[in-house]
Amino acid sequence: MNLEKQIKKANYFKELHYDGMFLLPNAWNGGSAKIFEKEGFKAVGTTSAGIAYSMGYEDGEKIDFKDVFRITKEMLDVIDIPLTVDLERGYGDNNKQIADNVKKIIELGAVGINIEDGQPENNKVDEIDEFCDKIKILSNLKKTMGIPFLINARTDIFLLGEGSIGEKVEKAIKRVKIIEDAGADCIFLPGSIDVEGIKKLRVSINLPINLYLHPAYSDLGELESIGINRLSSGSGIVRSSLNNIINISRDFIDKNVVTMLDHDFTYGKANEFFRK
């Protein structure tokens, strides 16, 4: 990608985090990314879970970085809007390798990355100094490359470990302030947080806040009024799509019915939709 064009796109993507709450759909292949672009979204993110599921694996870095790289390129080949890439814990054994992975993704043309601190297998998050060392290296990489890609630092405080929502809110506030100092541009707080907790987070955190769709968040307008900057679909759309495929498959094999044809998205319309 042309460097000047990528810098412009990266700045635009960052600006989206300061203009109300923007909705970010998470794609798992080129086709889903293109759908989101054609339907009018301003940017697209990848879903690590969706990419893994589409390849027949569970989520949690069960696939290789080369797979993430391949799918990222596939998406960038068919869309023009900004793309941010979920790199989970970085797909590396050390920070240098993780930084090299991020560099390769940005060189493809992406303008943002997610990096997380969760250790689901241990039901805990990284030590804060360890996680911040990773953020600092990526922040320095941004300066070295001369491309202002957005570092969305995800902390799994609300997904892992024990404690009440109130206790986790306090832990998150302390943690995020340190992460901000390390060079993160946005903070991603997945999980279920009550409205009062979200309000307290918003008034206590300087960085833009990214949440993802959750059954607990029924009033998206309320999230925007509180000041949430970015709302991601996470793996919600891909799981809904896969659930539909499962149900169609069961109908087809168990009931000998063809519910897969109960729509007007014909072969011709599909070709027209994806035609360049």
Q: Quick one: DSSP state of residue 254? A: I
> 267 and 208 in one domain?
no
> 221 and 264 in one domain?
no
Nearest to 212 by CA among 35, 146, 29, 198: 198
> 99 and 63 in one domain?
yes
In this prediction, residue 62 carries a pLDDT of 93
Q: Stretch 234-249: mean pLDDT, rounded?
A: 95
Confidence band for 1, pLDDT divided at 50, 70 and 90 = low
> 199 and 65 in one domain?
yes
For residue 214, give both structure tokens: 């959750």
Distance between CA atoms of 10 and 187, rounded to whole angstroms? Answer: 17
In this prediction, residue 64 carries a pLDDT of 96
> 244 and 177 in one domain?
no
> 161 and 240 in one domain?
no
In this prediction, residue 255 carries a pLDDT of 74
> 242 and 129 in one domain?
no
pLDDT digits (tens, 9 = 90+) for 41-96: 999 999 999 999 999 999 999 999 999 999 999 999 999 999 999 999 999 999 99
> 273 and 159 in one domain?
no
Name the burial class of residue 12, with classes exposed (0-12), middle (13-18) and buried (19+) by CB atoms within 10 angstroms of its CB: middle
Strands 124-125 and 118-119: antiparallel
Name the burial class of residue 60, with classes exposed (0-12), middle (13-18) and buried (19+) by CB atoms within 10 angstroms of its CB: middle
In this prediction, residue 144 carries a pLDDT of 97
> 248 and 219 in one domain?
no
What CATH number is associated with residue 116? Answer: 3.20.20.60
pLDDT digits (tens, 9 = 90+) for 132-176: 999 999 999 999 999 999 999 999 999 998 899 999 999 999 999
> 272 and 160 in one domain?
no
Overall number of domains in the chain: 2
Range(s) of the domain holding residue 48 = 3-234
> 110 and 9 in one domain?
yes
